[in-house]
Amino acid sequence: MMEIANVSSPEVFVLLGFSARPSLEAVLFIVVLGFYVVSILGNGIIILVSRMDVHLHTPMYFFLANLSFLDISFTTSIVPQLLANLWGPQKTISYGGCVVQFCISHWLGATECVLLATMSYDRYAAICRPLHYIVIMHPQLCLGLALASWLGGLTTSMVGSTLTMLLPLCGNNRIDHFFCEMPLIMQLACVDISLNEMEMYLASFVFVVLPLGLILVSYGHIARAVLKIRSAEGRRKALNTCSSHVAVVSLFYGSIILMYLQPAKSTSHEQGKFIALFYTVVSPALNPFIYTLRNTEVKRALRHTVLENCCGSAGKRAQI
């Protein structure tokens, strides 16, 4: 089977992307590049501040640093190739590059679903079990949950990618999207793909539906706990600790739901590309702002880090 797959696999894939709208490509290039730079800087700052400020050495910011690293990796696996295709007339990606792209994007997408569920459990423990929070969310558990998220995503990606790579494509190499996505590669196959579809549905249930269910259950308990808080100030503080995570979950799962509930029409497929552009480029750039705009701890840590570095540099120059 592997021999058949190697013979029939094309050397390059053509990513049609937004080539049907050539006048839009220059604008998209500037927009995508801008959001990519903001995503790298914003998420990089969150990782740096979470490591440098001892006040942020908590489970919440440990998971947030993981999410920021994931967002940087996810956008980097897609955006450079997208920018290259938007810039010039050539819309190709090598077979190996395509395989790497759909392996990594599938891995990180599944990991983010589990990681967001883990973060919702952390918020549940903080609000519903505040007196036992430190005992529940001890460092070993946090590290174990983070590793389970990354390794779980990697496992499902390796299984799905291997099954996809074994499919003979019989020379089909035109992908009507701006990046290599596993379901689109499967559609190019010239054999029955029922086994691949079964694996994809099972993986979607385990890594998308179940985590979403856990998130909803966690926030159901949180909502009930918040309603029992008598003071308005206490309710406000409790809601503030969850609002950022709720916003990120809404952006992530809202994009997925919109993407996969699109009817099978050409116009809807074009809309799907822009939705995919949102969750691959825009959403990772928005996440740092969501977690910093209303978060006094991160703002304080940023000010402290900037002032310390600036004042420290100025003091050293004055001594010299």
Average pLDDT over residues 198-206: 91
E strand or H helix at 93: strand 92-94
The set of residues, in sequence order, having a beta carbon less than 8 Å from that of 234 and lying 6+ positions away, is: none
Average pLDDT over residues 307-313: 55
Distance CA 221, CA 124 (A): 7
* Cβ atoms of 167 and 187 closer than 8 Å: no
Which strands make up the sheet holding 12-15, listed edge to edge? Answer: 92-94, 12-15, 174-175
**Residue closest to 129 by CA, chosen among 237, 236, 231, 225:** 225
Distance CA 90, CA 282 (A): 24
Predicted pLDDT at 308: 62
Predicted pLDDT at 305: 66
Predicted pLDDT at 158: 95
**Is residue 315 pLDDT above 60, yes or no?**
no
Predicted pLDDT at 190: 86
At CB < 8 A and 24+ separation, what contacts does 312-318 make?
none
2 pLDDT band, cuts 50/70/90, is very low
User: pLDDT by residue (tens digit) across 119-155?
Assistant: 999 999 999 998 899 999 999 999 999 999 999 999 9
Beta strands 12-15 and 174-175 are: parallel
**Is residue 3 pLDDT above 70, yes or no?**
no
Average pLDDT over residues 202-220: 93
Predicted pLDDT at 80: 93
Buried b (16+ CB within 10 A) or exposed e, 273-292: bebbbbbbbbbbbbbbebbb
Q: Poorest-confidence range of 7-11, 12-16, 100-104?
A: 7-11
Average pLDDT value for the chain: 85
User: pLDDT by residue (tens digit) across 233-282?
Assistant: 878 877 877 888 898 999 999 888 877 665 555 446 677 888 889 989 99
Most confident of 11-25, 62-76, 175-189, 191-205: 62-76
| Paired tokens of 231 | 């003071």
**Is residue 311 pLDDT above 60, yes or no?**
no
